[in-house]
Amino acid sequence: MIDVQNLTKRYGPATVVDGLTFTVRPGAVTGFLGPNGAGKSTTLRMMLGLTRPDTGTARIDGHAYGDLAYPLRHIGALLETSAPHRGLTARDHLRWLAQSNRIATGRVAEVLEAVGLTDAARRRTGTFSLGMGQRLGLAAALLGDPPVLVLDEPVNGLDTEGIRWLRELLRSMAAEGRTVLISSHLMTEMALVADHLVVISRGRLLADTGMSDFIERHGRSYVRVRTPEPDRLGRELEGGGATVTRVPGGGLDVVGMAAADVSRIAAAGGFPLDELGTHAGSLEETFLDVIGEGQRVPGQEGRNTHV
């Protein structure tokens, strides 16, 4: 379990993390979301004792990171900005990590096997591809068989097979009752793997909720309808107060009207329907909506956000 209480970090006049409080519970994969510059990385670094917070605490199973005697046995972390020395072999890198935390050196071969780097164990990490480097970072995070995992952008550089492997790994880690926190800017990936979401923007908490709850509560569900005469039906629906967007293949996405009402209007106008269904908003759209609201400043409505 990771417990973040009232965490604040300022760099000069800029408040990067602003009174953040949330808890990451065991037994689930928690996604940590926020646009660029939201303070995700700073929050993770404070959790891991690399950056000193101005106020507040971050505790790993009740302990500040710096107080853990052998931290790699309690929490495995992967950070974007940390990398092994290019002149070290993969095996030597994991060996010194194991030695520093008194982890049995037999684990080195085990984690290399687990991430599929056994054949590259004696290669210098400077010769690794992005994906191999990422696998080595994951091996380092898994080395101490920790009950807590914190992974910053873990799918970066992984191929399709690697992403799938990681997804299954994270799910099984959570199923074993471990605490798993991952940040990613890939919404589709996050939607597939996370059970719970912590969303921040401008250093503040916007949501701390279950994935489906988040989309239900904040997402815009829409009715997808398909007909041979989309233009005419579209006008009818707009006349009924709905917002309509054309999609390729004669489809219309209808927002602001229930499927039953769409059906009634279509029937009254004699439109044949090839498809009619209600869809939940995607994580990506919902996220953008929530972030947009969080960043909206009076007089500056509807600002766009980079994710």
Partner 1 sequence: MSETLAAVRAETTKLRGIRGTRISLLLFAAVSVLIAALDGWSAKNALESDNPSLRSDFTPEQAGLDGILYGQLALIVFGVLVVTSEYTSGMIRVSLLAVPRRGRLYVAKTAVTALAAVAVSVPVTVLGYLATQAALGSHGSSLGASGVPRALAGAVVYLTLMCLFAAGIAAIARNAVVPLAVLLPMVLAGTHILSLIGATKEMARYFPDQAGNELLTVRSPHTAFGFTVLLAWTVAALGWGWVRQRRWDS
Q: What are phi and psi of 88, to 5 degrees?
A: -90, 145
Confirm or reject binding of residue 171 to partner 1 (CB under 8 A). Answer: no
Select the residue interacting with partner 1 from 24, 97, 182, 193 (CB under 8 A).
Answer: 97
281: helix, strand or coil: coil
Residues 11, 13, 16: CA angle, nearest 5 degrees: 50
Confirm or reject binding of residue 92 to partner 1 (CB under 8 A). Answer: yes
- Report which of 73, 169, 84 is spatially closest to residue 128, judged by C-alpha positions: 84
CA distance 302 to 307: 15
Select the residue interacting with partner 1 from 6, 21, 99, 129 (CB under 8 A).
Answer: 99
Q: Give me 192's structure tokens.
A: 């597939």
Confirm or reject binding of residue 70 to partner 1 (CB under 8 A). Answer: yes
As measured in angstroms, the least distance from the Cβ of 23 to partner 1 is 22
Confirm or reject binding of residue 122 to partner 1 (CB under 8 A). Answer: no
Closer to partner 1 at the Cβ: 12 or 248? 12
Closer to partner 1 at the Cβ: 45 or 218? 45
Residues 81, 130, 171: CA angle, nearest 5 degrees: 80
Confirm or reject binding of residue 81 to partner 1 (CB under 8 A). Answer: yes
Confirm or reject binding of residue 129 to partner 1 (CB under 8 A). Answer: no
260: helix, strand or coil: helix
As measured in angstroms, the least distance from the Cβ of 73 to partner 1 is 11
Q: Are the C-beta atoms of residues 136 and 123 closer than 8 Å to each other? A: no
> Which range binds partner 1 by CB under 8 A, 85-93, 197-205, 233-241, 292-300?
85-93
Closer to partner 1 at the Cβ: 143 or 206? 143
Confirm or reject binding of residue 15 to partner 1 (CB under 8 A). Answer: no
Select the residue interacting with partner 1 from 31, 43, 93, 182 (CB under 8 A).
Answer: 93
CA distance 77 to 148: 9
Confirm or reject binding of residue 95 to partner 1 (CB under 8 A). Answer: yes
Confirm or reject binding of residue 153 to partner 1 (CB under 8 A). Answer: no
Confirm or reject binding of residue 74 to partner 1 (CB under 8 A). Answer: no
Closer to partner 1 at the Cβ: 50 or 288? 50
User: How many residues in the shown chain lie near partner 1 by CB under 8 A?
Assistant: 35
As measured in angstroms, the least distance from the Cβ of 68 to partner 1 is 7
- Report which of 121, 120, 114, 165 is spatially closest to residue 141, judged by C-alpha positions: 114
Extended strands (E) in 215-289: 222-226, 243-247, 251-255, 275-279
3-state secondary structure 158-222: CCHHHHHHHHHHHHHHHHCCCEEEEECCCHHHHHHHCCEEEEEECCEEEEEEEHHHHHHHHCCCE
CA distance 214 to 185: 17
With 0-12 CB in 10 A as exposed, 13-18 as middle and 19+ as buried, what is 131?
middle
Confirm or reject binding of residue 196 to partner 1 (CB under 8 A). Answer: no
Confirm or reject binding of residue 72 to partner 1 (CB under 8 A). Answer: yes
Select the residue interacting with partner 1 from 5, 15, 51, 295 (CB under 8 A).
Answer: 51
Confirm or reject binding of residue 55 to partner 1 (CB under 8 A). Answer: no
CA distance 271 to 61: 60
As measured in angstroms, the least distance from the Cβ of 26 to partner 1 is 21
Task: Give me the residues that bind partner 1 (CB under 8 A), please.
Answer: 45, 48-52, 65-66, 68-72, 77, 79, 81-89, 92-93, 95-97, 99-102, 124, 140
